[in-house]
Amino acid sequence: MKVLSGNFSSQPLLTRLFLRVGAGLLLLVLSACEPGGVGGVGWDSDDDISQAKKYPAIESSRLVLTTQEVPAQTFKQEFDTVFQDFQYRGAPVGESGETLRTQIVGTPYSVSYEMFVLKIFRGDDLIVERKLPRVFYMHPLNSAVIPGQSQAHDRILCRSMSRATTGLHYILIVEGSGDLLFEKVVTAAEDWDILPGKSNELIIGGARTKTVIAMRD
């Protein structure tokens, strides 16, 4: 009897191998779509992104804001080192960090961020509490202080970022009295870095824009 040659015996093995590889790739894709997916890759839900973009903005009438276009690469894109040019700054705190509250050394202020709730304290007194949109969980929250002529006129700065695929940043400026001066969700392209100006103004440097925030005389 003639024996047929071929690879019939290897076909089931190859089939099982392809199935296992396919299942592994599917699991990788699904895990990447969840918050905190592989390497931080993933997507927020359309509803969470929509709600974040609709977050009410606050711009005090005591501020003067000017925005102008600048050449690309005018500003360097900063993440957890965003406030490194400020004398008084806190350690990163928040959802993806181990520390939930930080003292801004050299000032009476501390900042906490947990479960999307941002709190600012002066000593043991809570002066500000804000509920952030649900997209701000991927990166820790950063903070800094610009001292004023009195504690009431100190300015506390906070900034948080969503995951890169959502591309939104949250910026808050509060006085030591607890008054809100500025609060806004902006695109990542509008906020690459936040810098101190020469006359106590703030500079928000973007990919192609420069926004100066100054107190009205």
Is 5 a domain residue?
A: no
Is 1 a domain residue?
A: no
Same-domain pairing of 20 and 121: no
Over residues 59-76, the pLDDT tens digits come to 999 999 999 999 999 999
Neighbours of 200 (CB within 10 A): 12
d(Cα 174, Cα 151) in Å, to the nearest integer? 12
At residue 42, the pLDDT reads 78
Is 2 a domain residue?
A: no
pLDDT at 78 over 80: yes
pLDDT at 146 over 90: yes
Domain that holds residue 23: 10-40
d(Cα 46, Cα 190) in Å, to the nearest integer? 21
Residue 97 pLDDT level (bands cut at 50, 70, 90): low
Helix H segments across 35-135?
46-53
At residue 13, the pLDDT reads 53
Same-domain pairing of 77 and 145: yes
Contact 202, 212 (CB under 8 A): yes
Of residues 141 and 14, which shows the higher confidence score? 141
Same-domain pairing of 146 and 177: yes
Q: How many domains does the chain have?
A: 2
Over residues 100-125, the pLDDT tens digits come to 899 999 999 999 999 999 999 999 99
At residue 26, the pLDDT reads 45
Ramachandran sector of residue 14 (left: φ over 0; alpha: ψ -120 to 50; beta: rest)? alpha
pLDDT at 9 over 60: no
**Nearest residue to 132 via CA among 165, 99, 95:** 95
d(Cα 92, Cα 127) in Å, to the nearest integer? 20
d(Cα 208, Cα 68) in Å, to the nearest integer? 9
